Structure 1
Amino acid sequence: MTDISFAWSALGGDPGLVQRITTVVREGALTARLPVRDLARACVGACALAAAELAARRAALAEVPAVRVDDGALATAFVSERHLLIEGRAPVTFAPLSRFWRTADGWVRTHANYPHHRARLLTALGLPSGEERDGSGGRDGDQDDALVASVASVLAERSALDVEEAVYAAGGLAVALRTPEEWAAHPQHAELAARPLVERGRLGAARARVLPSLTGTPLLPAAGVRVLDLTRVIAGPVATRTLALLGADVLRVDPPHLPELADQHADTGFGKRSAALDLAADRAAFEELLAGADVVVTGYRPGALDRFGLSPEALAERRPGLVVAELSAWGAYGPWARRRGFDSLVQVATGIAAVEGGDGQPGALPAQALDHGSGYLLAAAVLRALTEQSRDGGGRFVRLALARTAAWLTGTAPGAARGPERVQDAPYDSPAPWLDETGSRIGRLRHARSPVAFTDGPTTWTRPPGPWGTDAPHWT
């Protein structure tokens, strides 16, 4: 069962604090065959409780503030990318080549939102890459239709596993549809199921962290904490967006040659600054950032940043007392550890798409719940690490994987225990109560509110997103 007690236990939290959570149940929110709504409640509830716990410690409160988890807020926030409007324009979420395709023996799903992934996919299939799109507008519709038809024709003659391996070998992204039973027999699943939902450990010795006392409201448990954000796409940016909500100074750093999709950045950039920095050419600038950081969050494939000296151990050696949070698609171990992946592809590999489908067609969860859920869990793990550091010092590492979250959702890895008190409320009829409008340098934004809520906690971000990569790469 995907409940808050299990998630809180995976974070090392005091079991008694779960009783500080009240859940508002709204039927019709995140409806699916799998318990997606329970997963969302668990991840957000654990995150809010971790925030409330740290706030209570920093403000010397007699008890941890009460946490409220509302299904309506969850259902809205878990599809925040769909609710976003930029000057009234709906965002581009999936490119034409990011979809399911029939193969000679089944189905495969590809991901080609980024231009470089699109080019690699087409190369692997022996098709010309043609003009690349930028993720926020793009190619002529007739061109897209013709290209989709060409890809469909090629894939219809090949087996799903053959496509998976060929595209992966070319550096692209394609995953064959598997049933839950097929994934359970896969060696990558065995690696993941043997590990905890949230991997946690110490990184060297350092004195106990002393954070300034909190006064007044809203309570910002992460105030004064500097977070170096080396993440992309949804899960990692959701984690750092949440830390920014809670008061952290978050600086996202991306390589200048791999710009983020504009609409994606608009959705997950709330509360943060965004800088472009070449880690190889601008090493001194990065080391200066690291010297001032309290937390580093990474969202690249395991090992991808090691050549820059960014493994948890190397980071902690240069910055004792650092909290390093890592997130990946497939986990840090096993035959798929170094493969690229996204939520939509993890759903396909782990049997989720097979379960949610019907009439011979694969399906999908009502949200990219592995991304969003893992993002809130990662933020919770950082907050709990900060609380633990304030007691006994030491650096910390925390690690999550989308595929491990999927194993929890599907019941193919442990999950248990009772949840908090629940209060029945009205149905989920509309996202409107959980949407806001905010002005920004990129235009007027309609966006989802954060679902992380506790007594006297923040209700919105102090800064809207700005254009990607336009902030200076230094701490304020």
Structure 2
Amino acid sequence: MTHTWAALGADPETPERVAYHRVPGLLPSRLPVAELARTTVAVCALAAAELAAARGGGAVPRVAVDDAAVTAAFHSERHVTLDGRSGGGFAPLSRFWRTADGWVRTHANYPHHRDRLLTALGLPAGADGGAVADALAGRRAVEVEETVYAAGGLAVAVRDADTWAAGQGAPLAGRPVLDLERTGDAPGPAAGVPFAGASVGAPCAGIRVLDLTRVLAGPVATRTLSLLGADVLRVDAPELPESQEAHDDTGNGKRSTLLDLRRSADRRTFEELLSTADVVVTGYRPGALDRFGLAPGALAERRPGLVVARLSAWGGSGPWGGRRGFDSLVQAATGIALTEGGGSEPGALPAQALDHGTGYLVAAAVLRALTERHRGGGTWRVEAALTRTAHLLTHGTDREDPAPGASPTAGGGAAPTPRLLERDTPRGRLRYAPSPVSYEGGPRDWARPPGRWGADAPRWTT
């Protein structure tokens, strides 16, 4: 955790305030996924505690990181149900496929991605897995990757770690897991003066967050900010479909609205929201929002004092900088899938750990930026990518020995039953995983359940 905390420019002594409850055997994998999950949550919780001290006054509260809670949170999309009904998980065409020279991984959970995949392969709408398998069997994996991406779809050739490191992964060597920097001057409160509305339980009280993210890392980050008292408004384009089940997982504490930035009226509404926002988090591929003036530099120029966080799959630079991507595709490209496979075919991590881990890292960086802004003002930029979190997993995270006295859950023991929460909502009984971000006096649950996606008015509540 120390190196990750240092990447955020924080006090190197503060991690001493973190205590861990380790449970061996959770998130089992060939790579140190449990350690990555624990580290990213610990950094986020510590950043929240630090902000609570800065804005509310007093010492930094002690932080507690519980492996069982962390594991449940990294599986949150699997645990969420409404009246006992759960989502469908990955779509049938989102999987590994054999090619003439190896494997390719596709992502087709959204209808438009499925349609583009089938079009790229020369298949009719509604073609099944058998037709896709036949179409891919005689092609080279890299050829499929390029053809599908050119059609706006999502497919990645499965690579080993060395091939990845020699290509797109080369710029990652020696870089921190994310960037956090002050990019300009802006007034801030006098150092040490508490913010009247903040408290240990709500260190983000009075903070307004525009959430321009989609599945899954960005919504995890903004879900965490809403837990801590921020007024989070998610903004989506009406023409892009979204799963209500996904929003039931990541929409806790938020409101959700639809704005078409191509329409002048909606654009004016968005600019009004931006004029009093404190944080903007974007999760679209780099460059996709630039035509609306939503590049990090353009946002900071229009709103000095803003914290702008941008996350992407591939990192915003290099030959894949502007490509779309998801956790499963990054695993395939970076060598993780081959490492986790059984030898005869690729495998996957026990959770979408790159998404969840990146989400907590982005939240941590935003919280640190808010702390620094409270102390001395400034405009701040955060840059994160799933590939950088993948690099942390494969190169910067060591597997830890079992904690002394801990009861192992692998090799005969049973993993602890996840502690889940339930609450009544206007749409039914919601079951969900609680946030693993925990510190003395911190919040235990979100102030409100997720509503219907896109149904809220485009305005602030604070």
- Please report the TM-score for the alignment, with normalisation by the length of structure 2: 0.94
Deviation at 1:259? 2.4
User: SS of the counterpart of 1:171?
Assistant: coil
Q: Which moved more, 1:308-317 or 1:380-389?
A: 308-317
2:172 corresponds to 1:192? yes
2:163 corresponds to 1:170? no
Q: Which residue of 1 aligns with 2:271?
A: 287
Q: Which residue of 2 aligns with 1:138?
A: none
Q: Which residue of 1 aligns with 2:437?
A: 452
User: SS of the counterpart of 1:50?
Assistant: helix
Q: Which residue of 2 aligns with 1:95?
A: 91
Aligned residue type for 1:30:
L
User: SS of the counterpart of 1:439?
Assistant: strand
Identical residues among aligned pairs (%): 63
Alpha-carbon spacing, 1:255–1:423, altered in 2? closer, same or farther (3 Å): farther
Aligned residue type for 1:126:
G
Q: Which residue of 1 aligns with 2:81?
A: 85
Q: Which moved more, 1:195-204 or 1:442-451?
A: 195-204
Q: Which residue of 2 aligns with 1:150?
A: 131
Alpha-carbon spacing, 1:466–1:331, altered in 2? closer, same or farther (3 Å): same
Aligned residue type for 2:142:
L
Aligned residue type for 1:212:
F
Q: Unaligned stretches of 5+ in structure 1?
A: 131-145
Per-residue Cα deviation, 1:332-384 (whole angstroms, up to 9, x for no partner):
11110001100000000000000000131100000000000000000000000
CA distance in 1, matches of 2:79, 2:300: 39
Deviation at 1:313? 1.3
Please list every run of at least 4 consecutive aligned residues from structure 1 whose deviation after the TM superposition is greater than 4 angstroms.
421-424
2:308 corresponds to 1:324? yes
Aligned residue type for 2:149:
Y
CA distance in 1, matches of 2:51, 2:222: 17
The within-5 A match list for 1:153-232 is: 153-186=134-167, 188-209=168-189, 212-213=195-196, 219-232=201-214
Q: Which residue of 1 aligns with 2:226?
A: 244
The within-5 A match list for 1:4-83 is: 4-61=1-58, 63-83=59-79
The within-5 A match list for 1:297-376 is: 297-376=281-360
Per-residue Cα deviation, 1:423-470 (whole angstroms, up to 9, x for no partner):
754445456442111222332111111000000100110000011100
Q: Which residue of 1 aligns with 2:453?
A: 468
Q: Which residue of 2 aligns with 1:124?
A: 120
Deviation at 1:235? 0.2
Deviation at 1:285? 0.4
CA distance in 2, matches of 1:349, 1:33: 17
CA distance in 1, matches of 2:182, 2:403: 35
Per-residue Cα deviation, 1:306-339 (whole angstroms, up to 9, x for no partner):
1100111111111110000010000011110001
Q: Which moved more, 1:344-353 or 1:355-364?
A: 355-364
Q: 2:426 aligns with which of 423, 441, 455?
A: 441
User: SS of the counterpart of 2:381?
Assistant: strand
Q: Which residue of 2 aligns with 1:264?
A: 246
CA distance in 1, matches of 2:327, 2:198: 39
Deviation at 1:415? 6.3
Deviation at 1:194? 4.2
CA distance in 2, matches of 1:341, 1:405: 14
Deviation at 1:215? 6.5
Deviation at 1:195? 2.7
CA distance in 1, matches of 2:187, 2:300: 13
Confirm or deny: 8 A CA contact 1:344 1:368 kept in the other structure: yes
Q: Would you say how many aligned residue pairs link Structure 1 and Structure 2?
A: 452
CA distance in 1, matches of 2:456, 2:279: 19
CA distance in 2, matches of 1:124, 1:431: 45
Confirm or deny: 8 A CA contact 2:110 2:241 kept in the other structure: no
Q: Unaligned stretches of 5+ in structure 2?
A: none
CA distance in 1, matches of 2:256, 2:276: 16
CA distance in 1, matches of 2:403, 2:304: 42
Over the aligned positions, Cα root-mean-square deviation in angstroms equals 1.9
CA distance in 1, matches of 2:119, 2:17: 54
CA distance in 2, matches of 1:415, 1:31: 15
Confirm or deny: 8 A CA contact 1:24 1:424 kept in the other structure: no
User: SS of the counterpart of 2:20?
Assistant: strand
